[in-house]
Chain A
Amino acid sequence: MSKTLRLGLALSLAAVMLPAQALAKTVQLAIVGKAQGGEYWVQVRSAAEAKARTMKDVQFVYQGPRSERDTQGQISIIENLIQKKVDGIALSPVESKALGKTVKKALDAGIKVVTIDSDTDAKDRLSYIGTDNVAAGKAAGETLKKLLGAKKGEVAIMTGPIGAQNLRQRVEGFKKALEGSGLTVLKEQSDLGDKARAVSVAEDTLRSHPNVVAFFADTAIGGPGVAQALKSAKKNGQVVLVGMDVTPALVKLLNDGTVNALIAQRPDKMGELSLQMLYDAATKGAKLSPLVDTGVEVVTKTNVAKFTK
């Protein structure tokens, strides 16, 4: 090998190594949401991205499985992040049991892990940052009772993908709030995270239970789905609809009167706080509070402007 070639090789090797060295000093943080798309996850993601830009030595990445049902996909994402030796992961588990094991693997590898929006059953993560979902369900129930006033009848629940702990808790809190109210709560139906399916199921519910006076839709997908069914049955404005989350689609429906109230979570807070807490834990070894409630607010036509900026 000629001298110049050797020199060239050494130089190019150095060029490759240099940025790698610079990278080694940055703190690599990841948020793993429940899906790649969707308005809610975009809110988490963009708040975290904005936060990361203010933190000079942070390299941030958002990842999500193909759908909110893709447990295996989410496990693989975490496994890849473990291989990549990131410093911290904020995870929203699509399935509260299965992801617990993967979280343990990450913790064993020395990675700081917190959960956001939805928690694991195992609870060995450093912190859960998100909505107290039982409280969110209760808030929905109380709001719905207030909206109905003296009106009595059946109440239907449209829930999202089966097996997510946060949705189970919302339904639980909602049912608790309606206990002793004289309203009959129907068996909850799932839209499996598919808006078209939510429309179909809500249509069937309206048809089979003419005494339904109110709906609670506990996801941002189910809400617009139920609204569509109410519109085509010409029952919008008559049947009360309480939804969850503040998305452009739901705000539009709130303004046209199809949706009566929304229970707002704070996905932006979840994104920002989780990033800050992971950073503190990874760089300063800070001890994290195991539970951080980001709170909920009841949004109606009168105060919606505050939430849409």
Chain B
Amino acid sequence: MSSAARAITGELTPRRPQWLTIFLDRFLSGAALIVLIAVFSILAPGFFSVSNFLSIANQVSIVGIIAIGMTLVIVTSGIDLSVGSLVAFSACVAALLMHTNDPPFEQPGLLAGMPWLALVAGVLAGGALGWVNGVLITRLGITPFIITLGMMSIARGASLVMTEEQPVNALPESVFVVGNGSLGPVPIPAIILLALAAIMAVILSRTRLGRYAYALGSNEEAVRLSGVNADAYKTWIYVIMGLLCGVAGAISIGRVSSAEPNAALGYELDAIAAVVIGGASLMGGRGTIVGTLLGIAIMGVLRSGLVFLNVSTAWQQLVIGGVVILAVWIDQLRQGR
């Protein structure tokens, strides 16, 4: 079964003890996170509290879920620029299926009585567009960058067209719990983020799909020559990405109590930044879920901490951009390149 993949990755993995690899991969971003938290805790009273950390986990959940899927995509040396639009698309599909007959609507949506089913349909709609991405990339032989750039525009346009460019507000409040509920003190979006991260970590490290993902990113030609149906695996990876965008879309509905056709604009870049801060290589073959979670945590802590310190939004953007470049530079140094 996976002997082919093992042979391929085996050749390309640098020979050093596993504990050392893990240590180097995780230590730097982990240390950076601890330093950041320490600095903000000293400078901003009230920052260091369990409730604030839970709030940050809640805030990063949408970008975090996208980033988990993006890790899988980037490991294969692919990229998905359509994710922000897919979030809006699946949220709008779900909303248009479940809306009530409050104005501006005259009739309730098709699944108004079953809002949870509508939410699932939204997730599947995200998966469907992900499948289209995958099929176009593998069948047309055009790079993921271009296909998903096109899909970014198509899915955004479709969201605007089907909602007549207006946010959908007339929604049954029962489903908002996905985005604004909590289990005890822990926000539900944060629980979903961690659960999906755990599932994806298992997929990446324990399944054939995960092993082939790394192999595709390291040497696609070799994977093909060994008789693996690379196209099928690749397509699946974009389907998973789309499904995760659908889940993020469902959360976004609850978080802002509406479905916005303009939601998640620019989130693709936040997600890519988090994956890169987490130590993945855009050239493929390298990247872990734990790393991405650390990347997401760093960005969330930074943004929240800067608001605590009353730093203006323009400076926040400047600082976050600097951190992305710094993280990649340090990563290169440690790789000895």
Query: Does residue B219 face the partner (Cβ distance < 8 Å to A)?
Result: no
Bound-state CA distance A193–B260 (Å) is: 12
Give the residue name and chain of the A residue nearest to B313 (CB). A190
Q: How many residues of A contact B (CB 8 A)?
A: 37
Could you tell me if A194 and B265 are in contact, using CB atoms closer than 8 angstroms? yes
Task: Decide yes or no whether A252 CB sits under 8 A from chain B.
Answer: yes
What's the count of A-B pairs with C-beta under 8 Å? 95
Of the listed stretches B30-38, B125-133, B165-173, chain A binds: B165-173
User: For the complex, what is the distance from the CA of A41 to the CA of B160, rounded to whole Å?
Assistant: 13
The contact of A37 among B52, B262, B266, by CB within 8 Å, is: B262
B174 at the interface (CB under 8 A from A): no
> B166 to A42, Cβ gap below 8 A?
yes
Contact (A252, B169) CB under 8 Å given A38-B262, A162-B314, A205-B307: yes
Q: Are A204 and B308 in contact (CB under 8 A)?
A: yes
Name the residue on B nearest A64 (C-beta). Answer: B165
Q: Are A248 and B59 in contact (CB under 8 A)?
A: no
Q: In the complex, how many angstroms separate the beta carbon of A226 from the nearest chain B beta carbon? A: 11
With a cutoff of 8 Å between Cβ atoms, the chain A residues found around residue B52 in the complex are 207
Q: Is A224 an interface residue (CB 8 A)?
A: yes
The reply to whether B257 and A224 form a contact with Cβ atoms under 8 Å apart is yes
Are B255 and A228 neighbours in the complex by a CB distance under 8 Å? Answer: yes
Tell whether A248 pairs with B104 under 8 Å between CB atoms, given A186-B310, A195-B263, A196-B256: yes
Q: How far is the CB of A77 from chain B (nearest CB, A)?
A: 15
Give the residue of B163, B166, B258 whose beta carbon is less than 8 angstroms from that of A224: B258
Contacting residues, chain A, for B47 (C-beta < 8 A): 208
Chain B CB within 8 A of A225 CB: yes
Answer whether residue A280 sits at the interface, using C-beta atoms and an 8 A cutoff.
no
The distance in angstroms between the C-alpha atoms of A232 and B103, with both chains bound, is: 25
Bitwise interface map of A from 198 to 236 toward B, beta carbon under 8 Å scored 1, else 0: 011101110110100000000000001100100010000
A38 contacts B166, C-beta separation under 8 Å: yes
Asked whether B113 is an interface residue with its Cβ less than 8 Å from the other chain, the reply is no
Q: How distant is the Cα of A67 from the Cα of B267 in the complex, in angstroms? A: 14
A37 / chain B contacts, CB cutoff of 8 Å: 160, 163, 165-166, 261-262
* Interface pair A39/B167, CB less than 8 Å apart: yes
Instruction: Give B307 Cβ to nearest chain A Cβ, in Å.
Output: 4
The reply to whether B256 and A201 contact each other, CB–CB distance below 8 Å, is no
Chain B hits for A201, CB < 8 A: 307
- Could you tell me if B169 and A203 are in contact, using CB atoms closer than 8 angstroms? no
A169 vs B224: C-alpha distance when bound (angstroms): 60
A66 at the interface (CB under 8 A from B): yes
Shortest Cβ distance from residue B309 to the other chain A in the assembled complex, whole angstroms: 8
B307 in contact with A199 (CB, 8 Å): no
Cβ-based interface call for B41 (8 A): no
Interface string of A164-201 (1 = CB under 8 A from B): 00000000000000000000001111101111100111
Give CA–CA (A199, B252) in the complex, Å. 11
Partner among B166, B167, B265 whose Cβ is within 8 Å of the Cβ of A67: B265
Q: Residue A291 at the B interface, CB < 8 A? A: no
CB distance from B271 to the nearest CB of A (A): 14
A45: nearest chain-B partner, CB-CB: B165
Shortest CB-to-CB span from A207 to chain B, Å, is: 6
Q: Does B44 contact A (CB under 8 A)?
A: yes
Within 8 Å of chain B (Cβ to Cβ): is A78?
no
- B 302-320 to A, binary, CB cutoff 8 A, 1 in contact else 0: 0110011011111000000
Find the B residue at minimum CB distance from A250: B169
The 6 A-B residue pairs with the shortest CB-CB distance, nearest first, are A37-B165, A190-B313, A204-B307, A208-B308, A200-B59, A187-B310
List A residues at the B interface (Cβ < 8 Å).
Answer: 35-39, 41-42, 66-67, 69, 162, 186-190, 192-196, 199-201, 203-205, 207-208, 210, 224-225, 228, 232, 248-249, 252
17 other A-B residue contacts (CB within 8 Å) besides A39-B166, A42-B166: A36-B165, A37-B163, A39-B167, A69-B265, A187-B312, A188-B312, A189-B313, A194-B263, A196-B263, A196-B264, A199-B59, A200-B303, A207-B308, A208-B308, A224-B257, A248-B103, A248-B104
